[in-house]
Amino acid sequence: MTSNIDAGVGQSVTLGEQVPKERNWRGEVLRFVRRKPLGALGAVLLAMAMLWAAFAPQIAPYEFNATDLASRLEGPTIEHLFGTDELGRDLFSRVTYGARISVTIAVVGVVVATLISLVIGGITAYVGGRFDLFFLRVIDAWLALPGLVIAVLLVSLFGQSMLNIIVVLGVSGGIQQSRVVRSSVLQIQNRPFVDAARSLGATDARLLLRHILPNIMPVLIVLATTALGGFVLAEAGLSFLGYGVPPPQPTWGGMLTGSAVQNMVANPWIVIWPGAVLAATVYSANMFGDALRDVLDPRLRGSR
């Protein structure tokens, strides 16, 4: 008979303790909505943005690059809900297809960043010693440089493509987040249930995957949600500077530069709509991430 028994994801119990009951997810969601209404609203808006991006071809009434010079610089109408740009292209369609590019880059970039931070932070904290010290100094040197400058430099070297931007943002974000993951792993690996599993002969891989990883999942979830808004802004910043996905593909940041700046005074809807959608998406991600942090972080429970 062993003294330590696995009890599902993120749980370990000793003899004499009761296995926790299955969570009532519906009740927890309702409590989250009551406690964090802005966070719940952010989650809804964020989900709507992702659905908007996923079904862009079905939602957009026109092709994003379809021109109609006879309708150039028209204000919002029934035919063109957001108006048209200087080439007569439907702004609603371009913002919709821009959501597909911007949201996809942000979501996939966050996934890449989370995986990289988990690998770097988890392994360095678990191994420790000079290996950990070496990577800490490398991370410190990386963090000493402005993130946008690094992104511009790497995109310039490897080319302006959607894949390259995802990799650049994912690597940069993963290195930044790895320190938080490392700190969480250091806290978990000193817990009694990890020592008990180690004394029973658990391998390093089992300790990391079965005992440590499930217990840092709340940290990873909070990091991912809070980073999502930053990734949307980072992609928009690269596009605004001319280092994003190249034309004719529309992105929210790309729609705020070039001829849009020249026509924004006489035709403000050209920048209002992409800017408003960009701001709403970032705000939603930040509100949802902050609410999750308050709920999942035990140090903050009951403080707000």
Q: Does the pLDDT value for residue 83 go beyond 70?
A: yes
pLDDT at 7: 41
254-271 pLDDT, tens digit per residue, is: 888 877 777 777 788 888
Is 90 in a helix, a strand, or coil? strand
Mean pLDDT on 39-62: 90
Torsion sign across C-alpha atoms 226, 260, 54, 115: negative
pLDDT at 299: 54
pLDDT at 298: 54
Q: How confident is the model at residue 303 (pLDDT cuts 50, 70, 90)?
A: very low
Mean pLDDT on 158-174: 90
Mean pLDDT on 87-100: 90
pLDDT at 23: 58
The b-or-e profile of 119-141 (16+ CB within 10 A means b, else e) is: ebbbbbbbeeeeeeeebeeebee
pLDDT at 165: 92
Q: How confident is the model at residue 111 (pLDDT cuts 50, 70, 90)?
A: very high
pLDDT at 13: 40
Please give the sequence-ordered ranges of beta strands (E in DSSP) within the chain, or none if there are none.
4-6, 12-14
Q: Does the pLDDT value for residue 1 go beyond 70?
A: no
CB 180 within 8 A of CB 119: no
191-234 pLDDT, tens digit per residue, is: 888 778 778 777 777 777 787 888 888 888 888 888 888 899 89
pTM attached to this predicted model: 0.80
169-191 pLDDT, tens digit per residue, is: 999 889 888 888 888 888 888 78
The rounded distance, in Å, linking the Cα atoms of 142 and 153 is 13
Q: How confident is the model at residue 9 (pLDDT cuts 50, 70, 90)?
A: very low
Mean pLDDT on 243-256: 85
Percentage of residues of the chain with pLDDT beyond 70: 89
Q: Residue 117: which of 187, 175, 186 has the closest Cα?
A: 175
pLDDT at 304: 44
Average pLDDT, the chain: 81
pLDDT at 109: 92
Domains, the chain, ordered by start: 80-296 (1.10.3720.10)
CB 269 within 8 A of CB 25: no
Helix axes 147-158, 217-240, angle to 10 degrees: 70
Q: How confident is the model at residue 5 (pLDDT cuts 50, 70, 90)?
A: very low
